[in-house]
């Protein structure tokens, strides 16, 4: 996403902020578009299109959750461009969302990007602080 990269601990949700679901970072998006950060496969797509799981070719399992509690919208304001099982390449559009709709309905748009197979990595570090665009690195890992 284009936006502002922030520490996972700053996410306004205890489950994400505590790292319970995995390590990562978050993005406060400037526009409503989520693109594939690398080549891989769509492993999970929620019916409400507010979250997507990817299994990247390097073995990383990535979970991107758009906003906080946005599952409650039942898909309103979200459009998916992929389905489970699809092969994606870096830069492919996964989901678009209407930031203004989410904000007008009282939802935070801060979006966690979580590595769910954290145990496979000995180090996960946020590399971006502040402004970030689609093609900049957000996280760095070491096995």
Residue partners of 20: CB distance under 8 A and separation at least 6: none
Matching residue, tokens 């799981």: 53
Which sequence positions are flagged as catalytic?
65
- Determine how many CB atoms are found less than 10 A away from the CB of residue 142: 8
3 DSSP β-pair partners: 29, 132
Q: Are 29 and 1 spatial neighbours (Cβ–Cβ below 8 Å)?
A: yes
Residue 101's SS3 state is: helix
């Amino acid at each position: 996403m284009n936006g502002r990269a922030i520490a996972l601990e700053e996410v306004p949700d205890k489950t994400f902020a505590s790292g319970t679901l995995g390590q990562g970072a978050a993005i406060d998006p400037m526009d409503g578009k989520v693109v594939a950060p690398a080549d891989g496969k769509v492993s999970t797509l929620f019916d409400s299109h507010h979250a997507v799981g990817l299994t990247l070719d390097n073995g990383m399992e990535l979970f991107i959750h758009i906003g906080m509690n946005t599952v409650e919208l039942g898909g309103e304001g979200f459009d998916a461009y992929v389905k489970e099982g699809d092969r994606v390449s870096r830069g492919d559009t996964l989901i678009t969302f209407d930031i203004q709709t989410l904000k007008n309905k009282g939802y935070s748009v801060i979006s966690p990007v979580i590595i769910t197979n954290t145990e496979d990595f000995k180090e996960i570090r946020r590399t971006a602080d502040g402004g970030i665009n689609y093609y900049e690195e957000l996280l760095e890992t070491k096995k």
